[in-house]
Amino acid sequence: MFIEEMLSETKINIIRANNGLDALNIVKTNNKINIVLMDIQMPVMDGYQCTKLILEIKPDLPVIAQTAFAITTEKEKSLKFGCIDYITKPINLKELISKIKKYLP
């Protein structure tokens, strides 16, 4: 919800998933998704597994990991599972917008 509020002034359309399985199903059924902001700590299916499965379906879809853990191993693990970038919480709006613009087509 916080990211939706942060990005409300932009023209970015946001689709929110309640858990990793929802996120996977949204990506499977919506061809208009251009980027994914993946929360790593989610119920049902974590962000790592969800990213891996999303990229099996849509290998060119950019996925940016977001997590409260600012340790190097979390970043490395996110990249290993296929995320193209990483942002830590609390999220800085300028950094978030910069990363989104960097990877949007």
In this predicted model, what pLDDT tens digit does every residue of 3-46 receive, in sequence order?
Answer: 777 777 787 888 999 999 999 999 999 999 999 999 998 889 99
63-72, Cβ contacts within 8 angstroms, sequence gap of 24 or more? 63/35, 63/36, 63/38, 64/35, 64/36, 64/37, 64/38, 64/99, 64/100, 64/103, 65/38, 65/40, 66/3, 66/37, 66/38, 66/39, 66/40, 66/91, 67/39, 67/40, 67/41, 68/41, 69/40
Average model confidence (pLDDT) for the chain? 90
Please report which confidence band the pLDDT of residue 74 belongs to, taking 50, 70 and 90 as the band edges.
Answer: confident
Q: What is the pLDDT of residue 80?
A: 94
Homologous superfamily of 2-7+35-103 in CATH?
A: Response regulator (3.40.50.2300)
Q: What is the pLDDT of residue 1?
A: 52
Q: What is the pLDDT of residue 57?
A: 96
pTM of the complete model: 0.89
